[in-house]
Structure 1
Amino acid sequence: MEIKVGFEIAHATLQPTPMVIMLSIHPSRRQDIIGTETIAAEPNVPIKFYNDSFGNICGRLVAPAGGVTLRGSALVHDSGLPDAIAPTAQQSPIDQLPDDILLYLMASRYCETDKLTDVAWSLFGNTQPGWERAAAICTFVHNHVTFGYQHAHHMKSAHDVYAQGAGVCRDFAHLALTFCRCMGIPARYCTGYMGDIGIPYDPAPMDFSGWFEAYLSGRWYTFDARHNKPRIGRILMATGRDAADVALTTSFGRMDLMKFLVVSDEVVAA
């Protein structure tokens, strides 16, 4: 299938303000882009792209006084298959993990493994290590946390989510991946597009989505504690330890968000 994705994000500012943006499709999906992905600013200020330490594509620009509108679009080929399920995927002994994977077992800005290790072991200590354990964690978080945009807060951590039992997609991901780390499963945060493909249409405005990946049997597998079932048409944009590593926009100065529009639609042949 083909999926049309894009965004329009407008910020207002009183003075020239440097920015870093993370709005490009991830390098692992670049071969699926049909034609060219476009990202541009209005007014037409230059954007310099680079790869961060996690391999994500970032852009640098200076928003002029008055503000800037960022627009992006791409047509992406997708298999149309749901997220992979691998019940036999194994959990690797920690001493045998690759060096670059160890980072995803450790605490990070929004994922306090030290505060949740005892909770995690009390809940999941009797589960079978590997896929069964990661799936059990997702099911628990899915049932424990109530979704609602009114529960969103940029300072909310995994421990806060566990205590409050409410949040948005990033909060589901933070709590689940923190539990995975506590149980010895490397896990990383993911952000990207995920439209209403293969499910009933949702009339609410689209948003970027947050999920996580767990490292099992030598590769990364997608898990989504909010929906807790395989989905079709995820298009990855960035990965990191948690949402702090994959902020869509970072401004070095005061900015006000004026518009936020996201599109992720299957292209239906005429």
Structure 2
Amino acid sequence: MRIRLGYDIEMALNAPTTLLGALHVHPSRAEDLQTPEAFRIEPPLPLKHYHDAFGNLFTRIDIPAGTGSIRLHNNTVIEDSGQPDLVLPQARQHALHELPSDLFRFLLPSRYCELDSGLLAFAWNRFGTTPEGWPRVQAICDYVHQHLRFDYQQARANRTALQTWREGVGVCRDFAHLAVTLCRCMNIPARYVTGYLGDIGIPPVPYPMDFSAWFEAYLGERWHTFDARHNTPRIGRVPMARGLDAADVPITMVFGWSRLDRFKVVTDELTP
């Protein structure tokens, strides 16, 4: 299966600043690209690329004075297996002493995933008797999927997992943050993922195409994909960046005032 990926993003600015962004397909999927990513910026400005502590590819753009707006474009085609997310109910949970030391950062609190709150006690009361491993993570996904109402109109960039839990509403990043937090409460390493996820293999949904957020849990000596918002295996998931939470993986982060004037994301299956 081939999938066309891309975006067209325009932002207004009022001062010289710097933009950082996870604007590319994650390096783990680079070999699947059928065409190089055709990334460009208007007006043309120098680009600096670097890899962060999580292995994500970031782009830095230093924007000079007098630049009233910038426009980011990207377009590529990626080869995908066409298979839904892998489901391995037998994947086991690791005891803490078995975990590699570098995975403990995925058990700690982070900007949007606070653990020192009522969520810790709730998690153990709610999931402490569920079977460990995959069934426990799935129970967390089932709970988050049922507890939260998806509503684009209620999107808020600074909503934490605790606030999401209390408010009972959010968008895909909020579903992911709450599920990540509950997994960490249960000593299951979990990390946040952002990327492309189109309406492939499902009926079209009445929302504009957007980037998506899901999470991965470490079970059975590897990372596995889970999605508390959709709560069903999906086809055509393409990661762009992974981190502790959304603070680590911004599609665009502008250090100063900005206004989003255009936002279009493309994730379409191509006809064979």
Which stretch of structure 1 is more off in the superposition, 137-146 or 63-72? 63-72
Matched, 1:100 2:108: no
RMSD over equivalenced CA pairs, Å = 0.8
- 1:149 equivalent to 2:152? Answer yes
For residues 50-83 of structure 1, give each alpha carbon's deviation from its aligned partner in whole angstroms, at most 9, with x where no partner exists: 1011100000112342110000111000000000
> CA–CA distance in 2 between the matches of 1:127 and 1:201?
34
- 1:253, 1:151 → 2: CA distance? 24
- Structure 2 counterparts to residues 125-140 of structure 1, below 5 A: 125-140=128-143
For structure 2, the 5+ residue unaligned runs are none
Matched, 1:229 2:232: yes
Indicate which of 183, 189, 195 corresponds to 2:198.
195
Give, in whole Å, the separation in 2 of the partners of 1:181 and 1:202.
31
For residues 105-184 of structure 1, the aligned pairs below 5 Å read 105-115=107-117, 116-184=119-187
Structure 1 counterpart of 2:59, one-letter code: G
- Correspondence for 2:91: 89
Q: After TM superposition, give the deviation of residue 251 of structure 1 in Å.
A: 1.1
- SS of corresponding position for 1:107: coil
Amino acid at match of 2:17: T
Give the Cα–Cα distance (whole angstroms) in 1 for the partners of residues 54 and 211 of structure 2: 19
Separation in structure 1 between the aligned mates of residue 98 and residue 37 of structure 2, nearest angstrom: 39
Once the 2 structures are TM-superposed, how far is the Cα of residue 203 of structure 1 from its aligned partner? 4.2
> Aligned with 1:117: secondary structure?
helix
Query: Structure 2: which amino acid aligns with 1:151?
Result: Q
The structural deviation recorded for 1:47 is 1.2
Tell me the residue number matched to 1:259: 262
Which residue of structure 2 aligns with residue 48 of structure 1? 48
Per the normalisation by structure 1, the TM-score is: 0.98
For residue 38 of structure 1, give the secondary structure of its aligned residue in structure 2: coil
Cα deviations by residue, 1:125-184 (Å, 9 ceiling, x for unpaired): 110110000000000000000000111111100000110100000000000110000001
Q: Return the alpha-carbon distance in structure 2 between the equivalents of residues 231 and 36 of structure 1.
A: 25
Could you say what secondary structure the match of 2:8 adopts? strand
User: Aligned equivalents of 2:174 and 2:32: distance in 1?
Assistant: 29
2:21 — aligned with what?
Answer: 21
**Alignment partners' CA distance in 1, 2:192 and 2:49:** 22
The CA distance in 2 between the partners of 1:39 and 1:149, in whole Å, is: 28
- CA-to-partner distance for each residue in 1:217-263, whole Å, 9 max, x for gaps? 11000000000000000000000000000011111221111111000
SS of the residue aligned with 1:37? coil
Once residues 251 and 209 of structure 1 are traced to their aligned partners in structure 2, the CA distance between those partners, rounded to angstroms, is 20
Which residue identity is paired with 1:267?
A: L
Q: CA deviation at 1:35?
A: 2.1
Partner Cα distance (2:79, 2:129) in 1? 41
Question: Which blocks of at least 5 consecutive residues in structure 1 are unaligned?
Answer: none
My pick for the range that moved more, 58-67 or 114-123, is 58-67
Give the stretch that moved more between structures: 95-104 or 221-230.
95-104
Deviation beyond 3 Å, 4+ runs, structure 1:
none
- Could you tell me the TM-score, scaled by structure 2's length? 0.97
Q: How does 1:210-225 map to 2 (within 5 A)?
A: 210-225=213-228
| Structure 2 CA distance for aligned equivalents of residues 33 and 181 of structure 1 | 33
Q: Deviations over 1:29-60 (max 9, x none)?
A: 00100121121100011211110111000001
Deviations 1:84-109 (A, max 9, x none): 00000000011110111110000000
Indicate if the aligned counterparts of 1:32 and 1:78 stay in contact, CA closer than 8 A.
Answer: yes
Identical pairs, percent: 51
Aligned to 2:72: 70
**Does the aligned pair in 2 maintain the 1:40–1:47 contact within 8 Å?**
no
Whole-Å separation in 1 of the counterparts to 2:182 and 2:256: 35
Q: Could you say which residue in structure 2 is the equivalent of 1:245?
A: 248
Paired AA for residue 78 in structure 1: D
